Amino acid sequence: MRLTTKGRFAVTAMLDLALRQTRGPVSLAAISDRQNISLSYLEQLFGKLRRHQLVESTRGPGGGYTLARAMDKITVADVIYAVDEPLDATNCGGKQNCESGTNGRRGQCMTHDLWETLNHKMVDYLDSVSLQDLVDKEVARQRQEQQAPVVMQDMRSEPARIAA
């Protein structure tokens, strides 16, 4: 079980949009350039996101996309489900027909409950992470990166001050 490119790209593109939407609608071409995601692929994803009322589109010059709801009201799970991303660790897609061995037995495999529990925990977690949470973490990370060179420069000049 893994999250496919579709889900990863959708979350990445939504985070990019959320980080920049205060300046007005964000074009898919700009997201495509920044995130290195095919424009045609983004068009497909944003069509699904729009149908699920996670984004709104504005046509014309200066047009693009904005979030349809507040960032704290959109979860990662919302985004993944909107682009038809399956979140299922079971081998049977939850149909409980995962055992079909040569012994003729059909039905639920021995580890079905384990994978089904993992599914629930995964969905619960992704449903607990909002776009706002991701934005806050990204803003903090960017601030830290901007301050890192200053700290390193100060550390390099410190021994010179002590020696003088």
Specify whether the CB–CB gap between 31 and 42 falls below 8 A: yes
Which pLDDT value is given to residue 58? Answer: 93
Q: Tens digit of pLDDT for each residue in 47-98? A: 999 999 999 999 988 889 999 999 999 999 999 999 977 776 666 665 666 6
Contacts of 91 (CB under 8 A, 6+ apart): 98, 109, 115
Query: Does 138 map to a domain?
Result: no
8 A C-beta contact, residue 116 and residue 28 = no
Residue 157: inside a domain: no
Q: Assess if residue 57 is contained within a domain.
A: yes
The total of structural domains in the chain comes to 1
Asked whether residue 161 is domain-assigned, the answer is: no
**Beta carbons within 8 Å of 135's beta carbon, 6+ residues apart:** 15, 18, 19, 71
Residue 2 above 80 pLDDT? no
pLDDT of residue 164: 45
Eight-state DSSP code of residue 129? -
Q: Which of 7, 15, 50 has its CA nearest to residue 136?
A: 15
* Residue at token pair 């985004």: 79
Burial group, residue 7, by CB count within 10 angstroms (0-12, 13-18, 19+)? buried
In this structure, is residue 63 part of a structural domain? Answer: yes
Q: Specify if 136 maps to a domain.
A: no
Residue 129 falls inside a structural domain:
no
- pLDDT > 50? residue 11: yes
Which domain does 79 fall in, by range? 1-85
Number of other CB atoms surrounding residue 139 within 10 Å: 11
pLDDT in tens, 24-38: 999 999 999 999 999
Q: What is the CATH number of the domain that holds 14?
A: 1.10.10.10
User: What pLDDT digit, counting tens, does each position of 108-161 carry?
Assistant: 677 778 888 888 898 899 999 999 999 999 999 989 888 866 555 554 555 544
Residue 161's pLDDT is 46
- Does residue 1 have a pLDDT over 60? no
Cβ(9)–Cβ(45) below 8 Å:
yes
Dihedral sign, CA of 95, 99, 113, 118?
A: negative
The answer to the question of residue 4 being in a domain is yes
